[in-house]
Amino acid sequence: GENVEQHPSTLSVQEGDSAVIKCTYSDSASNYFPWYKQELGKRPQLIIDIRSNVGEKKDQRIAVTLNKTAKHFSLHITETQPEDSAVYFCASSYGGATNKLIFGTGTLLAVQP
């Protein structure tokens, strides 16, 4: 069945450093890859997404890259700040009749001041 693997499960960085979170998906028909940020006790919120016809997308300090051949996609956060500390989820979807999102297992990012 569909599966999304996410690594690492925890990541600790110093403020100002970069953070990279990697995901691998199993369904080659997947064409939409969102990233959600979930702060403690809050709802998941979309921070960036990418479609399969694009290799990279940036939004200020965050960027996502997609390698369709390898079925990998990654989240890059530069110049990390303490408020970036949260759990980050990748997800994949092939759209179709259901828009079903398959989520990765999450990465707890801790940015040390």
Partner 1 sequence: DTAVSQTPKYLVTQMGNDKSIKCEQNLGHDTMYWYKQDSKKFLKIMFSYNNKELIINETVPNRFSPKSPDKAHLNLHINSLELGDSAVYFCASSHLLATMAIQFFGPGTRLTVL
Please tell me whether residue 46 binds partner 1 under the rule CB under 8 A: yes
User: Nearest CA to 91 among 8, 10, 9, 34?
Assistant: 34
Contact status: 53 vs partner 1 (CB under 8 A): no
82 is an interface residue for partner 1 by CB under 8 A: no
Query: Tokens 């080659």 — which residue?
Result: 28
> Shortest approach of partner 1 to residue 12 CB, angstroms?
17
Count, residues near partner 1 per rule CB under 8 A:
24
* Residue number with CB closer to partner 1 (43 or 70): 43
| 29 closest CA partner among 75, 98, 95, 91 | 95
Q: Which stretch binds partner 1 (CB under 8 A): 14-22, 28-36, 61-69, 75-83?
A: 28-36
User: Within 10 Å of residue 69's Cβ, how many Cβ atoms?
Assistant: 7
Peptide bond before residue 44 is cis, with ω within 30 degrees of 0: no
Does 87 sit near partner 1 (CB under 8 A)? yes
Answer yes or no: are the C-beta atoms of 19 and 76 closer than 8 Å: yes
Residues that bind partner 1 (CB under 8 A): 32, 34, 36, 38, 42-46, 49, 51, 87, 89, 93, 95, 97-103, 105-106
